[in-house]
């Protein structure tokens, strides 16, 4: 699988990789200081675990640690914050989770699926139900069944609490040893994994730690077993897991003497492949038609993987070549990809024409919300506020559960200068979806349009809180206090919130000092 020539950054050497290593190091150090927790109740229908191995990390602490890591990841440019991509991944991933609700465990994890900008084939599970995939892996999957096999396998690791078990096995080790294990298991170690990750391992306990980099064969078989159950019960083609693993092995030729990171952190032995094949041998073959959205998301991801000017040109070349394939689905995806490239280049009229061609190629398939997303963005880009609002209003009624459409409706209201309506709508949204920083950003933009400076800074403060930037949030509250339109009621709210955030920041600094 040839990667774009302009995308030279090695996996593990970019900003996100460095950030993850810092976060994981802090995570590993904090884990070594945790007191034992009570062994959780066994979820029914899943393989039996050795509870003594996971006593050192409770499910609630797992979630807290996962959230801490995600706050850092979300702030990095390699985190793909694109709304349609996040919505697709979470609709698809949580659809897999709903097939086997017991994978949520006794803590009832809310799974969150996300993507990072990296052409290397990899996927990983963080503590507490956070599952990430590299953009390169999404592009490598040839069907939803193949992609589902990767996500289902990672869900299996979370359900079986393999990270907690791995750390539990190492509870007698030093903090540096523990950090080395976490770094190796989640970031991957090879010549393409970056000098930082290799140094972390070399600084540990040599061969003993190297053996801990990969989940054990038993852990992999457990994750495969859970993943296959999810694929089967979800109506996917279970042979997709074997097909994708075969594709990963073939891709190892692109990595010289090293294996792809996914195979490094998820060792694929002959016995393991044989075990998977034995489990699916007696299952009836299911041919499952992919949702067209899968191909549209892959096209969108190809553009997002390298958003430089050169990257956009190379994506366009790829889609031009794809147009020669005589299949309706591929032509639709190529036209959509070209429309998205044109949009990113600011060529809105061309983007609109190409999107219409993509929609025509999609007939008679079910209309996709991804067409509507891009259509609204193009209209907003062309400053067609009334048309964008009309489209967004119609789409939010057709797709009432789409958070992307809901935010685009607010953006269209703002673009049309209907700030009073936008503020009322967004305040309601903020009450229902308290964890969405994007809503607070839009509220700030709305208050700016209304000339309400105090409320603008207060909304920005809440956005920073949700993304984990407490100092920036406190600074915004200071600006809100100084705003000429701050009322007595505003001042009281600002004072109370500032005291709360300063206390939280003080506790965070104290915890960091204790770790160091």
Q: What is the pLDDT of residue 263?
A: 60
Sign, CA dihedral 148-300-140-195, equals negative
Length of the chain in terms of residues written: 516
Sign, CA dihedral 320-123-105-80, equals negative
Backbone angles phi, psi at 385, to 5 degrees: -60, -45
The two three-digit tokens of residue 412, written as one number: 């269209």
The two three-digit tokens of residue 456, written as one number: 């603008």
Nearest to 465 by CA among 428, 508, 426, 411: 508
For 124, the enclosing helix (H) or strand (E) is strand 123-126
Cα(389)–Cα(58) distance, rounded to whole angstroms? 47
Strand partners, 112: 130
Alpha helix segments (H runs only) across 189-291: 195-202, 207-212, 217-233, 239-251, 261-265, 270-281
377 near 361, Cβ under 8 Å?
A: no
Q: Which residue in this structure is represented by tokens 């499952």?
A: 288
Sign, CA dihedral 335-336-338-342, equals positive
Q: Which residues, given as ranges, of the chain have pLDDT below 50?
A: 1-13, 15, 18-55, 171-215, 257
pTM for this predicted structure: 0.81
Q: What is the pLDDT of residue 28?
A: 40
97 near 155, Cβ under 8 Å?
A: yes
Cα(188)–Cα(206) distance, rounded to whole angstroms? 15
For 487, the enclosing helix (H) or strand (E) is none
Strand partners, 245: none
Cα(125)–Cα(65) distance, rounded to whole angstroms? 12
Cα(82)–Cα(301) distance, rounded to whole angstroms? 9
Cα(294)–Cα(111) distance, rounded to whole angstroms? 20
Backbone angles phi, psi at 127, to 5 degrees: -55, 140
Q: What is the pLDDT of residue 49?
A: 41
11 near 189, Cβ under 8 Å?
A: no
Instruction: Write out pLDDT tens, residues 49-90.
Output: 444 444 456 777 778 878 888 888 888 888 999 999 999 999
In three-state form (DSSP H/G/I as H, E/B as E, the rest C), the secondary structure along 318-360 is: HHHHHCCCCCHHHHHHHHHHHHHHHHHCCCHHHHHHHHHHHHH
């Amino acid at each position: 699988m040839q990667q774009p020539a302009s995308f030279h950054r090695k996996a593990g050497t970019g900003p996100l990789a460095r950030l993850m290593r810092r976060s994981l190091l802090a995570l590993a150090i904090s884990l070594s200081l945790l007191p034992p927790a009570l062994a959780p109740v066994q979820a029914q229908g899943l393989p039996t675990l050795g509870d003594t191995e996971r006593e050192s990390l409770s499910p609630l602490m797992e979630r807290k640690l996962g959230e801490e890591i995600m706050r850092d990841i979300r702030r990095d440019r390699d985190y793909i914050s694109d709304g349609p991509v996040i919505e697709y991944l979470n609709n698809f991933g949580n659809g897999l989770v709903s097939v086997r609700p017991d994978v949520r465990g006794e803590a009832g994890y809310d799974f969150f699926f996300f993507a990072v900008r990296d052409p290397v084939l990899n996927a990983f599970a963080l503590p507490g139900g956070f599952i990430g995939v590299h953009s390169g892996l999404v592009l490598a999957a040839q069907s939803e069944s193949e992609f589902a096999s990767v996500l289902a396998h990672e869900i299996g690791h979370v359900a079986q609490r393999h990270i907690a078990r791995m750390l539990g096995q190492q509870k007698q080790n030093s903090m540096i040893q523990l950090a080395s294990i976490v770094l190796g298991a989640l970031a991957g170690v090879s010549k393409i994994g970056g000098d930082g990750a290799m140094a972390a391992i070399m600084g540990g306990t040599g061969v003993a730690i190297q053996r801990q980099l990969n989940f054990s064969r038993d852990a992999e078989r457990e994750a495969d077993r859970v993943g296959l159950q999810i694929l089967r019960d979800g109506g996917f083609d279970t042979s997709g897991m074997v097909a994708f693993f075969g594709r990963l092995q073939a891709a190892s030729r692109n990595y010289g003497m090293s294996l792809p990171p996914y195979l490094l952190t998820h060792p694929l032995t002959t016995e393991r492949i044989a075990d998977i094949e034995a489990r699916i041998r007696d299952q009836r073959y299911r041919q499952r038609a992919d949702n067209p959205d899968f191909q549209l998301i892959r096209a969108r991801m190809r553009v997002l993987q390298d958003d430089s000017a050169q990257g956009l040109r190379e994506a366009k070349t790829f889609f031009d070549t794809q147009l020669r394939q005589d299949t309706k689905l591929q032509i639709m995806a190529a036209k959509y990809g070209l429309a998205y490239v044109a949009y990113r280049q600011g060529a809105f009229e061309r983007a609109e024409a190409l999107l219409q061609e993509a929609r025509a190629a999609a007939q008679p398939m079910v209309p996709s919300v991804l067409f509507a997303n891009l259509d609204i963005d193009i209209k907003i880009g062309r400053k067609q506020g009334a048309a964008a609002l009309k489209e967004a209003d119609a789409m939010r009624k057709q797709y009432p559960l789409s958070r992307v459409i809901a935010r685009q409706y607010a953006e269209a209201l703002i673009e049309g200068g209907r700030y009073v309506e936008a503020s009322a709508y967004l305040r309601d949204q903020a009450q229902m979806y308290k964890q969405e920083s994007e809503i607070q950003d839009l509220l700030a933009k709305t208050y700016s349009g209304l000339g309400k400076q105090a409320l603008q800074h207060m909304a920005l403060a809440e956005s920073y809180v949700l993304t984990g930037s407490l100092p920036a949030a406190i600074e915004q509250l200071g600006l809100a206090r100084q705003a000429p339109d701050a009322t007595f009621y505003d001042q009281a709210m600002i004072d109370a919130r500032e005291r709360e955030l300063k206390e939280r920041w003080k506790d965070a600094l104290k915890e960091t000092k204790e770790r160091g």
